[in-house]
Amino acid sequence: MINGQKIWTSLAHEANWIFVLARTDSSAPRHHGISFLLCPLDQAGIDVRRIATLNGEREFCEVFFTDARTSADRVVGAVNEGWAVANTLLGFERGEAAATFPLRFREELDRLVRLARARGAADDPIVRQGLARAYAECEIMRLLGMRALTGLQAGRPPGPESSVSKLYWSEYHQRVTGLAVRILGADALAPSGRRPPNMVRTDDPGAPDDSASWVGTFLNARAGTIYAGTSQVQRNILGEQVLGLPREPRP
């Protein structure tokens, strides 16, 4: 039986399956005794509840498990060793993002430059400085992505260093969408234009050049430093597993 709840399951209301990190050995300490399970969502005992977010979308979900079931052959990896599976999954997720996000962010930046020119903000020294910084950061992300691809081609799975790109792009996107709101000025307070449903996502920078979509992307970018590991978690991973710094003392 699976009992518990999980918040922040994007688009769970549209999914048929979910993976679950479930404690299968209550006597094991901390990250041991956890198994990685594949579980069908269309069963009694699972309740998916949608939550409205700042940008007006309802793709953010909380999932409740009450005596839910899955079969024994749907354990990924070894029983009680699910934490290692989860870390491998996150490594590939962040590694893939390092290779593809720079292309999306550069396209978004090109549209932001057009927005600045169209609104007469391209000569504002603060805006120009922000755009120049964003260009440099996009180039850094592109090089990080090339390094990630080189490692994959050489047969090296993504390791803890993949946290560099996740930390970098999530904080970058908050800054650059904040710059977009600055360019919009008062129009950001009462945005107009089209905002296609379920389109504006922090991990898919695709806002058209209208104020509603830019503001929607800005609001959703707030989530980027939380999901897939918070910025604080990424810094801890890099400090401890990449730089070899000592762990923070436990209270």
What would the DSSP string read from start to end of the chain? -EEEEEE--TTGGG-SEEEEEEE--TTS-TTSSEEEEEEESSSTTEEEEEE--TTS---EEEEEEEEE---GGGEESSTTBHHHHHHHHHHHHHHHHHHHHHHHHHHHHHHHHHHHHHTT-TT-HHHHHHHHHHHHHHHHHHHHHHHHHHHHHTTPPP-GGGHHHHHHHHHHHHHHHHHHHHHHGGGGTS--S---TTT-BTTB----SSHHHHHHHHHHHGGGGTTTS-HHHHHHHIIIIIS-PPPPPP-
Please determine, for residue 204, whether its predicted confidence score (pLDDT) is greater than 60. Answer: no
Q: What is the percent of the chain where pLDDT is above 70?
A: 91
Give mean pLDDT, residues 110-124.
Answer: 94
Give mean pLDDT, residues 46-60.
Answer: 88
Whole-angstrom distance, CA of residue 105 vs CA of residue 142: 10
pLDDT value of residue 193: 54
Whole-angstrom distance, CA of residue 193 vs CA of residue 210: 5
Query: Does residue 108 carry a catalytic annotation?
Result: no
Q: 244: which strand partners?
A: none
Q: Please pick, among 62, 93, 96, 240, the residue that the annotation labels catalytic.
A: 93
Domains of the chain with bracketed CATH: 2-80 (2.40.110.10), 83-242 (1.20.140.10)
Whole-angstrom distance, CA of residue 219 vs CA of residue 174: 9
Q: In terms of Cα–Cα distance, which of 218, 125, 130, 122 is closest to 178? A: 218
Whole-angstrom distance, CA of residue 143 vs CA of residue 140: 5
Q: Which amino acid is at 121?
A: A
Cα separations (Å) of 159 from 151, 164, 242? 10, 10, 9
The 10s digit of each residue's pLDDT in 214-226 is 888 898 899 899 9
- Which band of pLDDT confidence, cut at 50, 70 and 90, is reported for residue 162? confident
The 10s digit of each residue's pLDDT in 184-200 is 998 888 766 544 433 33
Q: In terms of Cα–Cα distance, which of 21, 40, 37 is closest to 83? A: 21
Whole-angstrom distance, CA of residue 1 vs CA of residue 23: 11
Range name among 12-26, 60-74, 158-172 with the lowest pLDDT average? 158-172
Owner of token pair 């509603």: 212
